[in-house]
Amino acid sequence: MNSKKNAQLMLLTLLASIGFGTSIDLIQPTQIDAAKKVKTQKKAKKLKIVGNKRTKIYHMPYQRHYNISPKNRIYFSSQKQAKKMGYRMSKQ
């Protein structure tokens, strides 16, 4: 048995011993990615400054074009952080 499968088996045994049941499926990378995405989206809702990765322009919630395509979005906790990363504020 390779070391990765052995580690997974040990983890499943541990989880079963602390009450997570005995029929736990192995967690797939896509499940982990989905969980990270949900966590990131929840965190993003708290952040109000959104930048566009393509144009390097950030927007405040009250500005036009605040709704940026999800693939181009980046969130900042402050204007200072956005500027430090090379973004400029939208003129609109």
Domain that holds residue 87: 47-92
Where is mean pLDDT largest: 3-7, 20-24, 41-45, 72-76? Answer: 72-76
pLDDT tens-digit readout, 74-86 = 988 889 999 999 9
Reported confidence tier of residue 88, pLDDT bands at 50, 70, 90: very high
Q: How many domains does the chain have?
A: 1
Asked whether residue 15 is domain-assigned, the answer is: no
Say if 3 falls within a structural domain: no
pLDDT score at 17: 66
pLDDT over threshold 80, residue 1: no
Determine which helix (DSSP H) or strand (DSSP E) holds 8, and give its type and residue range. Answer: helix 3-17
Which residues fall within 8 angstroms of residue 51, CB to CB, at 6 or more apart? 57, 58, 59, 68, 73, 74, 75, 76, 82, 85, 87
Amino acid at 23: S
- Domain assignment of residue 66, yes or no: yes
